[in-house]
Amino acid sequence: MHNATSGSNAAAGTPATAGGAGQQAAGSNTAAAGLNTAAAGLSAAMGERRIREILDAAPDAILQVDQQGRIILLNRATEKMFGYDRTDLLGQPVEILIPEEVRPRHHGHRAGYENHASIRPMGIGMQLEGLRRDGSRFPVEISLSPSESPEMGFTTTAIIRDITERKLVEARFSAAQEKYTGDLIEANQQLEVQNREIERANRLKSEFLASMSHELRTPLHTIIGFSELLGEELHGFLTEKQKRFVGHIHTDSLHLLDLINDILDLSKIEAGRLELRPEPFDFAALVAESMASVRTVTRAKSLGTEANIQVDGAVEADRVRVKQILVNLLSNAAKFTPHSGHIRVDAKTVDGFLVTSVTDTGVGIAPEEHEAIFDQFYQTGVTTRGVREGTGLGLAITRRLVHGHGGTINVESTPGKGSFFTFTVPMRPRRDA
Ligand SMILES: Nc1ncnc2c1ncn2[C@@H]1O[C@H](COP(=O)(O)OP(=O)(O)O)[C@@H](O)[C@H]1O
Ligand SMILES: [Mg+2]
């Protein structure tokens, strides 16, 4: 539509062209919009030099293309960005600035754009590239705005931004992110392997302990049995000293048996070999039995005992293990409560759970040790002075048994005042447990 003269006039930024640029005021980026608006306002008053200056001050390449796709206007940034002189580009098809393989497509797009002209970014979701005179390429972002004027017909203004820097930063960022993710995955895998090794070692340890405990118990029963027999003097009298020695053998082998039993229990639980066998039973009767089993101690220390059981109906749980839980808590209460103290058991049902507490007026446990006492072999230093005996395994086993039933256990205690242990077990075995 345009002759070479009008093309070069446009390129030089005649008022007419500047007006054209002005109509494209709503350029997709605000800088361009501002520029265009300014251009429109200024065109008449200031003439082509001023317009030229404004265009040339823009950091982005700005060029205008006629209906045939020929470049009719360009700014200084275009020259710099693509490595051409103005005169090399004016009148050339815009495809000169585009990598060869996309040129045919570009023709089509250009025709399509004329039919659906609007202000918009070009090639959304595509990696657009510019082609320099020296054949090198660089990533660009392009926004297009159309205009129509009687003098120039349909023209398109393109604002082209070199995004090499941004791409570099993005690439560096995603490389760092990838490396970071990779490191994390690797660390995770290492952890998994370590975890498996630890689990395996732990299982082997438990299995070893389980079988060892078994081997140890058999000869121990012999020692206990025969020292008992000796002490009974059915097969001959002993001197006072011999009797005392035999007594030591008997007491200490009983203690050793306790220890071994605890270890056996714990390793069984840890090896996952402890099976709970739920059966319905009368909880009040179980409490009475359990209290009877600590009677020797409570009598010797004149401890008052009391039970307040308000449980409706039978409890369905592993009776032997629930008794073990209770006896562990009661024997601790008896052990750590000084002469003339008091022990009580309270039980009720709450929301399908049997909630039982064992309260004593004993030495108590410092708050910072409320967690640790449930660890294996943990015995508090200060509070147990003078009463140190046992294995430190009782509460570890107790907690596992409670958890095995799907319950919880916790302690409240004030040193010097007493302790209050509460455990829960479901009244019935739970389907999912
Ligand atoms: N009722 C209690 N009063 C005071 N301290 C307690 C009580 N129950 C447990 N403890 C503390 O917790 C420790 C761990 O208890 P436990 O695991 O039963 O081991 P053990 O009875 O063999 O010492 C005890 O050594 C004691 O220090
Ligand atoms: Mg104990």
Domain containing residue 182: CATH number: 1.10.287
The answer as to whether 433 is a domain residue is no
Residue 19: CATH number of its domain? 3.30.450.20
Determine the distance separating the centroid of ligand 1 and the alpha carbon of 383, expressed in angstroms. 9
Ligand 1 binding pocket includes 380 (Cβ within 6 Å): yes
Domain-terminating residue out of 270, 290, 313: 270
Q: Which of 213, 240, 270 is a domain's end point?
A: 270
Q: Do the domain assignments include residue 125?
A: yes
Same domain, 419 and 351: yes
Q: Same domain, yes or no, for 412 and 298?
A: yes
Q: Of 233, 253, 270, which residue sits at a domain end?
A: 270
Residue 432 included in any domain: no
Q: How far apart are CA 406 and CA 426, in angstroms?
A: 7
Per-residue pLDDT of the chain (433 residues; tens, 9 = 90+): 344 333 333 333 333 343 343 344 333 455 555 556 555 655 555 677 888 888 999 999 999 999 889 999 999 999 999 999 999 999 999 999 999 998 888 877 777 777 777 777 777 767 899 999 999 999 999 999 988 888 888 899 999 999 999 999 999 999 999 999 999 999 999 999 999 999 999 888 878 877 887 788 889 999 999 999 999 998 889 999 999 999 999 988 988 888 888 888 888 787 777 789 999 999 999 999 999 999 999 999 999 999 999 998 899 999 999 999 999 999 999 999 999 999 999 999 999 999 999 999 999 999 999 999 999 888 887 544 544 467 788 999 999 999 999 999 999 999 999 999 999 999 998 765 4
Are residues 9 and 157 both part of a single domain?
yes
* Residue to probe by mutation, ligand 1, list 344, 371, 373, 422, most atoms within 8 Å of CB: 373
User: Is residue 128 located within the same domain as residue 99?
Assistant: yes
289 and 412 within one domain: yes
Domain of residue 34, residue span: 4-162
Determine which residue's CA is closest to atom 18 belonging to ligand 1: 394
Please tell me the distance between residue 266's alpha carbon and the centre of ligand 1 in angstroms.
16
Assigned domain for 141 exists: yes
Residue nearest to atom 12 of ligand 1 (CA): 373
> What distance in angstroms lies between residue 378's CA and the mean position of ligand 1's atoms?
8
Pairing of strands 342-350, 304-310: parallel
Q: Are residues 237 and 338 in the same domain?
A: no
Residue 19 Cβ contacting ligand 1 at under 6 Å: no
Output the domain CATH number for residue 379: 3.30.565.10
| Total tally of structural domains belonging to the chain | 3
- Tell the residue nearest (CA) to atom 25 of ligand 1: 379
| CA–centroid distance, residue 292 to ligand 1 (Å) | 20
Q: Is 333 in the pocket of ligand 1 (CB under 6 A)?
A: yes
> Ligand 1, from 259, 262, 265, 332: best to mutate by most atoms within 8 Å of Cβ?
332
Q: Would you say residue 403 lies in a domain?
A: yes
Ligand 1 contacts CB of residue 415 (under 6 A):
no
Residues 155 and 251 in one domain: no
Same domain, 397 and 356: yes
**CB of 349 closer than 8 Å to CB of 309:** no
95 and 66 in a common domain: yes
Is 431 domain-assigned?
no
> How many angstroms separate the alpha carbon of residue 350 from the centre of ligand 2?
27
User: According to the model, what pLDDT value does residue 7 have?
Assistant: 38
- 14 lies in the same domain as 124: yes
Residue 257 lies in a domain: yes
Structural domain contains residue 177: yes
> Which pLDDT value is given to residue 49?
82
Instruction: Establish whether residue 95 lines the binding site of ligand 1, counting it when its CB lies within 6 angstroms of any ligand atom.
Output: no
Please tell me the predicted confidence (pLDDT) of residue 367. 94
**Residue 257 alpha carbon to ligand 2 centre in Å:** 14
> What integer pLDDT is reported at residue 423 of this predicted model?
98
**Contact, 290 vs 326, CB < 8 A?**
yes
Determine the distance separating the centroid of ligand 1 and the alpha carbon of 414, expressed in angstroms: 14
Task: Tell me, yes or no, whether 156 and 82 share the same domain.
Answer: yes
* Residue 159 near residue 142 (C-beta atoms within 8 A): yes
Paired strand residues for 356: 347, 423
- Based on the fold, state whether residues 225 and 358 are members of the same structural domain: no
Q: What is the pLDDT of residue 211?
A: 80
Put simply, whether the predicted model's pTM sits higher than 0.85 gets the answer no
